[in-house]
Chain A
Amino acid sequence: MAQQSTDYVTLVSSDGFEFKLQRSAATVSGAIKRMLDPISNFTEAQTNTCTFENINGVVLEKVCEYLYYNEKHKNNKDVPDMDIPPELCLELLMAADFLDGESCTAVCLISNADTGLV
């Protein structure tokens, strides 16, 4: 039996590390949101678990830190930059590109899309 959506979701790294975090924080990432979308019928949505074949534990830990940082500061002015270790920046850049997907900080400007402006 498939499980219902839960408040917490699990992110699993390529080397088997598991991170449990709040759904609201995790779904800021467009990619995670799509994976966990109940109507998507992805395995992940059924199990409330996302496995990332190419993100290792060290990088995924930093990703989770970011997701909480974003949740904490989303309405704050003067947000301090989160510290990123230089040796991780390229991997985080790649991970961010994947996770942000189409719309991390989702700006879907106009709801009726037929304005002809691209």
Chain B
Amino acid sequence: MDSRSPSPDLPSSPPALPSTFPRRKRARIDYCYDENTSSDPPVFSSDDGPEASIDNYVTPRKKKQYRGTWWDHQPVAEASNNTAAKVDLTRNVDSGVWMGSDGTDDSAASATRSSFGADTTMSEVADLPDEVGRVGCRAIAMLSPTASKLGAVTEGLARQIIEQCLDDGKEMVDLSDLSLTAISDATLRPLRALIRAPRAADAVLDSRRSSRSDSDLYAPFTPSLQLFLSRNSLRSLPRELWNLQTLTVLSLRNNALTEIPSAIANLRNLKELNLAGNRLRWLPWELLGLVASRGPLQRLTVLPNPFVQGTRFHGELAQQGHWRFPANPQKMEAVAAQLRLKLQHTNSPGSQEQFEWLLKLHEVYAERMREIGDSNREDNWFAPKIGVDYPLNLWKEDPVHLASTPVTFFTFDGRLERHSPPPPSTTPEDIRFLPSATRHTSTAAPQSVAHASRAPSLFELSLRTITSMPFSAPLSLLPLLPPDAPDSVVRALHTVDEAKQDNGKKCSVCGKGYVIHRTEWIEWWHCVPDSLVTGLDAIGVPFLRRGCGVKCSPYEGKLWDH
């Protein structure tokens, strides 16, 4: 029997692809779209046949609704009136829970909270509104006090303030207290063009006086943008914000934000960031890259926020409400030894967990202090003596990894893998604690992960190709799909589109650009570089982390030790 001709009585395998490709369309893939089609995601209709034309997907850009001066927007403002009122209402209901620090307690530094973790001491300088610069705009707001409640009108006001800052070459842009419910890319975009007001005379004088070099002379002209959006009602942030490379100070304090995107890593000049008083459940792992010795960030204020917790503190600790670290190696070792004892004599897993977190911290710090001691013994610039405190910046600056959730795995097309724990990024609001594992309690990789391929899937490779196509919007490919294209393919094109608008995503493990994440987990890090005393809620702050492949997870390699 010819091996190629199947015997007639055997069933055939499932049919192949759902249908043939509309060939004649393929030749018409147009890589140079009209600007208008590439920007706002059109609403996809899965009912569209191959005849569907790109025109069906062209929706008017949102941007157009706001074009012109702000007072032209009465109709838009009225339309958004209801939404604005609703937002205010929800916020009032919720605000009491975590909006502990308001504008009024800026200066009230609580002894138990570090300025780096909690919103207390930060921003006496940073959040001081520049009233002088806003006098003109305030006057306009007063003419129609009720109108200032309307989203579009207040965004118009925001535009005016930005315009004025651009005209004056002023780097401090204060958009706080404007009742903003949203802010668009178009509003922020002009800030890219901000140039520091030339102070040529000063610079020349300076250069004569101190024989400065040319680079010093020009340095003052690179702006250091400071943007204050505090005490508004923002629920999300425009992508444009993450393109403002000259940002040095960003305050988003007291808004209604639920997510900070990983694109925040683009802000390579950011020195101060305030995220306190939002609805954040975790921070993007990429933010850690800006902190301490890894980046420019000197002040990061993240509390209060309803972060997911990785451990419960009980007993004595909980009553105390805070933890104090010793500042010299001998005491650090001693506390570590005490914690080790406590760990041995505690039977309840919950209590063990809290001691494990603290023990990890003290061991890491003791180790760092030992290294400092060793490296400085010879050159004697800082000779550590017994009982002498070490400066905080030498050993407490770098964040310490404490615990992680189990890893969630996704299929090649982004669905949850069978038997995988639910993704931490979908944790419902009423869940405050997630199961976590420390270096001692974490389990080995599931066997199938060990056998998985390191090569990206063909699906992923095809999507990466779409990302790198110049001038083409991924969503404009939708009409070229056959009418019965599987949902996974349609979903994937939407994912590519978002990834492209975010200028691509980078794997947190291998650093490669990717489209569909295959792993996700949360890591709790201690990140309080400037204080020996830490509130219990600041001991471990959650960071959401994602990997591009099944092998890009903490089960592989040295993600545990830093």
Contact = CB atoms under 8 A, between A and B. Distances in A.
B398 interface: no
B90 interface: no
A50 B448 CA distance: 26
Instruction: Specify which of A41, A79, A113 lies most central, judged by the most chain B CB atoms within 10 Å of its CB.
Output: A79
Contact of A47 (B4, B20, B413, B454): B4
B456 A97 contact: no
B466 interface: yes
B201 to A, nearest CB: 54
Contacts of A90: 21, 26, 462, 477, 480-481
B458 A87 contact: no
Interface string A62-80: 0100100110011111110
Contact of A108 (B31, B416, B418, B485): B418
Given A43-B6, A70-B453, A74-B454, A94 B412 contact: no
Contact of B485 (A70, A89, A94): A94
A84 B417 CA distance: 27
Contacts of A63: 458
Contacts of A75: 454
Interface residues of A, number: 64
B179 to A, nearest CB: 42
A54 B20 contact: yes
B interface SS class: loop
Contact of A54 (B16, B412, B417, B462): B16
A34 B419 contact: no
A86 B458 contact: no
Contacts of A102: 411
Contacts of B446: 107, 109-110
B549 to A, nearest CB: 8
Contacts of A39: none
Interface of A: 1-3, 28, 31, 34-35, 40-44, 46-50, 52-55, 63, 66, 69-70, 73-79, 81-82, 84-87, 89-100, 102-111, 113, 115, 117-118
13 contacts: A28-B453, A46-B7, A47-B3, A47-B5, A73-B454, A77-B454, A79-B456, A107-B417, A107-B449, A108-B419, A109-B418, A113-B418, A113-B419
Given A55-B16, A100-B459, A118-B419, 14 more contacts: A31-B14, A41-B11, A43-B10, A48-B3, A54-B20, A66-B461, A70-B458, A74-B454, A75-B454, A94-B17, A109-B409, A109-B419, A109-B449, A115-B419
